[in-house]
Amino acid sequence: MAEFETVIIGGTIIDGLRTPRFTADIGIKGGRVAYIGRLQPHEGDEVIDASGLIVAPGFVDVHTHYDGQIFWDPYCTMSGWHGITSVVVGNCGFSFAPVRPEMRDRAMLMLSRTEAIELEALQAGMPWDWVTFPEYLDSLDRQAKGVNVTSYCGVSPLMMWVMGLEAGKGRTATDDEIEQMCVLLDEALEAGACGWSAQWAGNDSGQRDYDGTSMLSDLMSVEQAHGFSEVLARRRTGLTQINGHGANRPFTETWARHEKLAEISGRPVLHNVVEFFTDQQGNAVGNYRETIEWLNACKRSSSVSTLAMVSAKSLSSGVNQSDGWLSRGGGTGTDAGSFSWTSARKALNQAARSTVCGRSSAVGVPGSL
């Protein structure tokens, strides 16, 4: 038996640590990279010739809505086709657990408008062999998958479960209801959820429910959000994903809200989203520079950990301006002719440097917010 299960010979390695690319061989033992250097083919039970190919870690797509699709498309097309090996679902407060059987259609309808996933496709493709969040993760475990997957616990299902749809859209949660939701979140984290998520943009949120009303999580009270952050603090685990800018709210107010969640939880907040646009001279349009300044201020603070996600939607605006995504998503529009790749790349690099943990900003899929 050879020393390594697999050796990958002659590939060009890009290690994901910003090391310049280099040519080397890789030895895999126990399912993990055990050696990077010079190896001979006889040192592996299996030999992969990677000459002329890039050898790189898989990418993590941290913002997806494959919650339904993963059940009929194990590679999560298109992500799987583009080198992504891990996806995160349950973003923006949308997830499919916990959901009582009689509310399944209503939960699916929430994704039908904003995420443009047909109800009929979801009905046909989802097994719905769960009710609670832990049961949902068990179902995902049973599913044959071509990618790794983890899920946030979305706020909208928690509100629908505890308050009901009508009350959730009509009033804020009582202290007792917040406590009940915190118990459910705690249960979800215990089962393996990576944190909690919400679209938290208020009544004027650009991304509406299928019937034109606000999403449940848009109407979450500050007290409710702080309650969830306290759960993360107690458990010392998980992160918060917030897509949270209302059309009529100053950006500074949104940033302050997100900072507070990071302070209370002591855990990272993933702020969605930095969108950058430039005019034809490369001058900034919109507020991405101010957002990056805020992120840098968070980075200097010892108590606030805030990461940012950069929208690929704005990166790709030069080519998909005509499809209506910018106006539908509430983003700041710009003429197709004014898009500058050079400026966009600079802004992306700037944003990546502004992340507190030194991790690169997320890669999103156009239209997946």
Q: Name the β-bridge partners of 12.
A: 23, 54
Of residues 347 through 366, those in contact with Zn ion by CB under 5 A are none
Q: Is-contact 151 178, C-beta < 8 A?
A: no
Task: Output the CA torsion 282→283→284→289 (10° steps).
Answer: 100
Q: Is-contact 247 308, C-beta < 8 A?
A: no
Residue with smallest beta-carbon separation from Zn ion:
92
Is residue 92 a contact point for Zn ion (CB under 5 A)?
yes
DSSP string over 25-79: EEEEETTEEEEEE---GGGEEEEEE-TTSEE-PPEEE-S---TTGGGT-TTTTTG
Task: Report the nearest approach of Zn ion to the CB of residue 94 (Å).
Answer: 7
Task: Report the nearest approach of Zn ion to the CB of residue 234 (Å).
Answer: 27
What DSSP character marks residue 204? T
Separate counts of helices (H) and strands (E) for the chain: 13, 15
Is residue 91 a contact point for Zn ion (CB under 5 A)?
yes
Is residue 369 a contact point for Zn ion (CB under 5 A)?
yes
Task: Report the nearest approach of Zn ion to the CB of residue 343 (Å).
Answer: 25
Residue 11, phi then psi, degrees to nearest 5: -80, 165
**Interface with Zn ion by CB under 5 A: which range of 87-95, 164-172, 339-347, 350-358?**
87-95
* Contacts of residue 194, Cβ cutoff 8 Å, sequence gap at least 6: 88, 150, 151, 152, 238, 239
Identify the three-state secondary structure at position 351. helix
Is residue 181 a contact point for Zn ion (CB under 5 A)?
no
User: Between 39 and 198, whose beta carbon lies closer to Zn ion?
Assistant: 198
Site string for Zn ion, 39-78 (x = CB under 5 A): ----------------------------------------
Is residue 89 a contact point for Zn ion (CB under 5 A)?
no
Number of residues that bind Zn ion (CB under 5 A): 3
Is residue 217 a contact point for Zn ion (CB under 5 A)?
no
Task: Report the nearest approach of Zn ion to the CB of residue 281 (Å).
Answer: 32
User: Between 92 and 153, whose beta carbon lies closer to Zn ion?
Assistant: 92
Binding site for Zn ion (CB under 5 A): 91-92, 369
